[in-house]
Structure 1
Amino acid sequence: RFWPSSPSMGYLDFSDGWHADTRGDTHYWDVWHSAKSFEAYRTVNPRFASEFGFQSFTSMNIIETFAEPRDRNPSSPVMENHQRNDGGNARILETMTRYFRFPRDFDQMVFLSQIQQGLAIKTAIEYWRSTKPRCMGTLFWQINDIWPVASWSSLDYGGQWKLLQYMAKRFFLPLNVVAVPVHDDVQTNSRGTPVEGAEPTSIVLRAINDTGAPTSIALDVRAVKIGGGDRVVFSGNCAVGPDAAIEVSKLAAADLAADEFLFFSWRDAKGNLLGENDYFPKPYKAYELVSPTITSAWSDRDGQPVLTLSSDKPALFVTATVDLPGYFSDNAITLLPGRTTELVFTPRHGATVSSTDLAKSLKVRNLAETF
């Protein structure tokens, strides 16, 4: 069978399906090209979202290869030349002020741009996956770059992972749990789109099973204060059929205090941790973030370096980097007090590295540092 184009309304259907989400595949670019909020992803319900994307700056160590210190400014000619889309740098910054407080320096701006890129794609994919069986596929644009540039890619030029690539490992988990905000009619406009900045009236937790077998998960949902402390708002088991998405729990948004966010984790029948996720009902700039003290420790396990992280306060988008080429098993994670997280480092190109070598250049950052 021949699919005539992408997007297309269907088999041998050559009509314009650019903005149609009733059948065929859909390209949805309004969030990037029209500077709509991330919440706009939840106003379209495609059968197959085959192309959508959001930009970030390429990583700081890549920028250092083409920009002198005096050129490391988003509106410098050098940075504007290393941009895949006219006006892209301005659009990145416009979005940044919508969700975050303006970063304190250029390095933090680059870091924050990759956080928000990941959040944009996460918002879209988590929602569309939660509508299964209506939406049965998602492809984000794009995977890689052929030169060092600000773009929609999840990999830097040369293959280094941007934060989107790490976040994609989590929002594409075959067994996943996501939070979907629900707005009442008062908070939507005539097209049903949530009013800019409107807070949800309720939050639905949906479990997604992309495997071909039925499964059961144990879900733990906590309301966490941004400065520390948490309480359980849901705990229970749920069965999810094969290739399905179901509602597990629903809570009123008003049940969350102004300084609380949701953190949830799910386990299999044997108690093995399958995944973790969080949901913030308000933009991150609305929270008074605290500065956490993050503790790190290296060890070697079966010939692989392992980094163990813990924090005394809730720490958001905790990201570990080292100078040696390679990638961690996870990154841009949420750390809560009393919980430790282990990140395994895999060197690139078959190199052999030790935890001692990695410790020399380790840098661990988090969202609070950008304020």
Structure 2
Amino acid sequence: MTSYRQLHDGWTVSGLPATVPGCVHTDLLRAGRIEDPYLDANETALSWIGRSDWTYETTFAAAPRFGERTDLVCAGLDTVTEITLNGERVGETANMHRGYRFDVGPLLRDGDNELKIKFTSAYTYAEQQRDRLGARPNAYEEPFNFIRKQACNFGWDWGPTLVTAGIWSPIGLETWSVARLAEVRPQVTVTGGVGRVELRVRLDRLSADPVKITASVGGRTAQATVDGIEALLILEVDEPDLWWPRGYGSPSLYDLVVSLSAGDQHLDSWTRKIGFRDARVDTTDGGWTVVVNGVPVFVRGINWIPDDVFADRITRDRLATRFQQAADANVNYLRVWGGGRYESDDFYELADEMGFLVQQDFLFACAAYPEEEPFRSEIEAEARENVVRLASHPSLLVWTGNNENLWGHEDWDWKPALNGRTWGAGFYYDLLPRIVGELDPTRPYWPGSPYSGNPDRYPNDPSYGTTHIWDVWNTDDYTKYGAYRPRFVAEFGFQAPPTFSTLRRSISDAALAPDSPGMAHHQKAIGGDQKLARGLANHLPVPADFDDWHYLTQLNQARALQFGIEHFRSLRGICAGTIMWQLNDCWPVTSWAAIDGDGRKKPLWYAMRDAYADRLVTFQPRTGKSLTAGGPLTDIEPGTVVPVSAPPALVAVNDGTSVWALQTTVSRRNLAGEVLASFEAVAAIEPGDAVTLTLPDEVATPGDPLTEFLVAGEVTWFWASDKDIPWPAADYTASVSGAEVTVHARSILRSLTLFPDRLSPAAETDRAAVTVLPGESVTFTVTSAEPLDPDALTSRPVLRCVNDLIP
């Protein structure tokens, strides 16, 4: 009989009380020995923690029993350790991304037992390996590519440098006899209405006696008597309810139960929820199209980073909140980025239940990685463990070899610096695909993100496979998204600061300014503030103060991503998906996230929700010439910006499951709201299709591009940038009734946004950046745990629009 006993109590770390699971930083914080590293610039004073060695110790009672084995089971140790029990060496570890099991039965004694885990500084280990093997290029001056540890602990362009150590996952003693289930690996397929589970089981044994394995799912049972260590059981379920991704049907799940017995003695058990679905990535035409149960799925995705620097803070409830925020924004796909972690069982169980598709990167990001020992063996061990752990989840769609390393090797001047040294190619093109092929053969493997489908092809070619678009943020205006004709966009993003209440909680600058000390410390991107300023200068009026700057930078971020997403979705038939960078933050920071480090929605979240709606109406520049993959829309050269003066067309995209009978009025108006010309747009759009409606010249051609715009329902199109439009001064009335704030416009109100968190940190509203025409009204519904001052709620800086910047 297998029994498990947690060892989570009574720990100390270098003499201080320790919480397990946890890490040194959170223990020091609880003990009052350090200031909160997320506040102000406290992070910079804490680098000593990552450069120190730490020892965790506990004492537990035990009573060894004859004929049984007791294992010390460590689900996750961060990272380089030496483990002793009662003064005797148990083993060593050097990989955060895998678990370890040690036979400690011979070392146990009756009564108190002393368990000690010494953590060597991650820097000490990584720098020794770097010195031994030779330096390799990476994106930051940190040795994260020389240790199997969460890379972003060493800092990123959105994250702090807080190099953790500790027992970050459960630890305990497992006692067993006769045999145990060492590995259970279900391979789930569905063909011709029959769901099939090929269940491969591997045993650990203490005796050679025959044992019986019993498995059941969906009312079907299979058994096998085994005198070795491996078994294959096959179960078939007729006409199972299929697992569907969000928006396409129910994510139906079945309990798969496996038990191990010897005679009448129950030895061990294993239970998971599985889903029957056929999922693949179609690359036959050079693109990258997700197909589930025979239905092409346009990916409306987000990139996911660890939700906190300190993993013990990421609870199931916290993940559920973040997942609901993603679902409410019409997201159907989560990409787990390769600089973080193989996500938790909680993460994948929630994804299964909620119908998210998941792309899991293997953990390599933005660096050249050595292929020599001990790394090759460690990477093989972590890959095997995590592929087996996650293969049962229907949400998991695809394994990806790395983040940006193929692109980096080709485009970031790595080759001269490497001078022939290994950089990871053997992992991405050989080791990892072999492991996936062996252990998870029904699931596709893709060598990298980005990757163009052929190792001889430039890895970030938008005409093939998956692409990352970062020139827009780094060097160009966001309208450059319109020059791309990509097959699939796996990363693209634009920055903005977090919500005001998050800033005020985390930064104590007497007066906030874009370059005040706390704000500067919480901007990790090189040249980030200058890029924010360039983006504003291209589109919006000059901010007069910090409140203006905060509103406008958040608005510009929202517009940039909405522009990109709607453009890419309008390319249905060429582009098969977008994965916006990024959903979440791990601490309070100016970043590309839609949800800030305190879990609050930025205006980007609302824009993403609208741009990812099942049914989308969008104005797009069109000249009637054909679209080609990767190429320009017209005769404009690739890499240039499609001018906003190009004639707009109305594009309707249907990602729903039924025909959409579109009927809407498109009108050209002036700033007074007067209709100058109109057109009735009528179309039937099939599921998974898009229709482009050419507008008549009298609608599509402005008399004065500075003062005219197009309207279709709540969708607008302006020929000119806001900074060039002669906006009337904002004129409106506003009233508050219960949770509703109603604004009646007497003048046009451009991108009207309510920021109730300025009055109460937990308060939020249901919409943002609404353009209201003269004579019309809009109602915001505010959720707040406490009453809000009506006067403050309906005036600056809580209620904002672009034209209230007009003197």
TM-score by length of 1: 0.85
Residue 731 of structure 2, aligned match among 262, 272, 293: 293
Q: Is the 8 A contact 1:112 1:370 kept in 2?
A: no
Residue 260 of structure 1, aligned match among 704, 708, 722: 708
> 1:133: how far off?
2.0
Which residue is equivalent to 2:502? Answer: 62
Is the counterpart of residue 309 in structure 1 residue 746 in structure 2? no
Which residue is equivalent to 2:469? Answer: 28
Aligned-CA RMSD value: 2.4
Q: Is the 8 A contact 2:460 2:466 kept in 1?
A: no
Q: Is the 8 A contact 1:310 1:336 kept in 2?
A: no
Residue 153 of structure 1, aligned match among 593, 605, 608: 593
> 1:249: how far off?
3.1
Q: Secondary structure in 2 aligned to 1:255?
A: coil
Is the counterpart of residue 7 in structure 1 residue 450 in structure 2? yes
Is the counterpart of residue 121 in structure 1 residue 558 in structure 2? no
> 1:43: how far off?
1.3
Which residue is equivalent to 1:242? Answer: 687
Q: Which amino acid aligns with 1:31?
A: V
Deviates more, 1:145-154 or 1:54-63: 54-63
Residue 766 of structure 2, aligned match among 329, 332, 356: 329
> 1:256: how far off?
4.2
Could you list the per-position Cα deviations for residues 309-341 of structure 1 after superposition, in whole angstroms to 9, with x for gaps in the alignment? 221111011011222313222111111123222
Which residue is equivalent to 2:665? Answer: 220
Task: In structure 1, list runs of 5 or more residues that go unmatched.
Answer: 266-275
Which residue is equivalent to 1:270? Answer: none
Q: Which amino acid aligns with 1:368?
A: N
2: CA distance, partners of 1:25 / 1:101: 36
Shift in alpha-carbon separation, 1:81–1:188, aligned structure 2, 3 A:
farther
> 1:96: how far off?
0.8
Q: Secondary structure in 1 aligned to 2:692?
A: strand
Q: Is the 8 A contact 1:201 1:254 kept in 2?
A: no
Shift in alpha-carbon separation, 1:30–1:314, aligned structure 2, 3 A:
same
> 1:215: how far off?
1.3
> 1:244: how far off?
0.8
Q: Secondary structure in 2 aligned to 1:169?
A: helix
> 1:291: how far off?
1.5
Q: Which amino acid aligns with 2:772?
A: L
Shift in alpha-carbon separation, 1:94–1:218, aligned structure 2, 3 A:
same
> 1:87: how far off?
0.6
Q: Which amino acid aligns with 1:76?
A: S
Could you list the per-position Cα deviations for residues 43-64 of structure 1 after superposition, in whole angstroms to 9, with x for gaps in the alignment? 1111221110000122333333
Residue 790 of structure 2, aligned match among 353, 359, 370: 359
2: CA distance, partners of 1:291 / 1:205: 30
Is the counterpart of residue 346 in structure 1 residue 783 in structure 2? yes
Could you list the per-position Cα deviations for residues 15-42 of structure 1 after superposition, in whole angstroms to 9, with x for gaps in the alignment? 6654312222111111001x21222101
1: CA distance, partners of 2:664 / 2:702: 19
Q: Which amino acid aligns with 2:449?
A: S
Q: Is the 8 A contact 1:234 1:249 kept in 2?
A: no
Could you list the per-position Cα deviations for residues 179-213 of structure 1 after superposition, in whole angstroms to 9, with x for gaps in the alignment? 1124799x976447237xx4423111111101122
2: CA distance, partners of 1:125 / 1:370: 28
Shift in alpha-carbon separation, 1:156–1:241, aligned structure 2, 3 A:
same
Shift in alpha-carbon separation, 1:365–1:241, aligned structure 2, 3 A:
same
TM-score by length of 2: 0.41
Q: Is the 8 A contact 2:679 2:696 kept in 1?
A: no
Shift in alpha-carbon separation, 1:18–1:96, aligned structure 2, 3 A:
farther
Shift in alpha-carbon separation, 1:255–1:289, aligned structure 2, 3 A:
closer
Equivalence map 1:196-211=2 (5 Å): 198-211=643-656
Q: Secondary structure in 1 aligned to 2:448?
A: coil
Q: Is the 8 A contact 1:182 1:200 kept in 2?
A: no
Identity of aligned residues (%): 27
Q: Secondary structure in 2 aligned to 1:330?
A: coil
Could you list the per-position Cα deviations for residues 62-85 of structure 1 after superposition, in whole angstroms to 9, with x for gaps in the alignment? 333304234x23233432211120
Shift in alpha-carbon separation, 1:89–1:56, aligned structure 2, 3 A:
same
Is the counterpart of residue 19 in structure 1 residue 464 in structure 2? no
Q: Which amino acid aligns with 2:485?
A: N
> 1:361: how far off?
4.2
1: CA distance, partners of 2:639 / 2:465: 23
Q: Secondary structure in 2 aligned to 1:64?
A: helix
Which residue is equivalent to 2:548? Answer: 108
> 1:14: how far off?
4.9
Equivalence map 1:55-204=2 (5 Å): 55-65=495-505, 66-70=507-511, 72-182=512-622, 190-191=637-638, 193-194=640-641, 198-204=643-649
Could you list the per-position Cα deviations for residues 139-191 of structure 1 after superposition, in whole angstroms to 9, with x for gaps in the alignment? 11111222221111112221111111111111111111111124799x97644
Shift in alpha-carbon separation, 1:330–1:97, aligned structure 2, 3 A:
same
2: CA distance, partners of 1:361 / 1:144: 29
- Relative contact order, higher structure (CA 8 A, sep 6+): 1
Q: Which amino acid aligns with 2:722?
A: Y
> 1:5: how far off?
2.2
Task: In structure 2, list runs of 5 or more residues that go unmatched.
Answer: 1-443, 626-631
> 1:308: how far off?
2.2
Q: Is the 8 A contact 1:216 1:240 kept in 2?
A: yes
Q: Which amino acid aligns with 2:692?
A: E
Which residue is equivalent to 2:175? Answer: none
Q: Is the 8 A contact 2:509 2:517 kept in 1?
A: no
Runs of 4+ in 1 over 4 A off after TM superposition: 13-18, 187-190
Q: Is the 8 A contact 1:226 1:287 kept in 2?
A: no
Shift in alpha-carbon separation, 1:251–1:86, aligned structure 2, 3 A:
farther
> 1:99: how far off?
1.1
Q: Which amino acid aligns with 1:239?
A: A
Q: Is the 8 A contact 1:211 1:242 kept in 2?
A: yes
Q: Is the 8 A contact 2:736 2:790 kept in 1?
A: yes
Residue 230 of structure 1, aligned match among 656, 661, 675: 675
Q: Is the 8 A contact 1:67 1:79 kept in 2?
A: no
Q: Which amino acid aligns with 2:468?
A: H
2: CA distance, partners of 1:151 / 1:61: 16
Return the index of the structure with the highest Cα Rg.
2
Q: Secondary structure in 1 aligned to 2:779?
A: strand
2: CA distance, partners of 1:18 / 1:295: 54
Q: Which amino acid aligns with 2:743?
A: L
Q: Is the 8 A contact 1:59 1:111 kept in 2?
A: no
Q: Which amino acid aligns with 2:668?
A: A
> 1:230: how far off?
3.0
Which residue is equivalent to 1:273? Answer: none
1: CA distance, partners of 2:753 / 2:618: 22
Q: Which amino acid aligns with 2:658?
A: A
Which residue is equivalent to 1:271? Answer: none
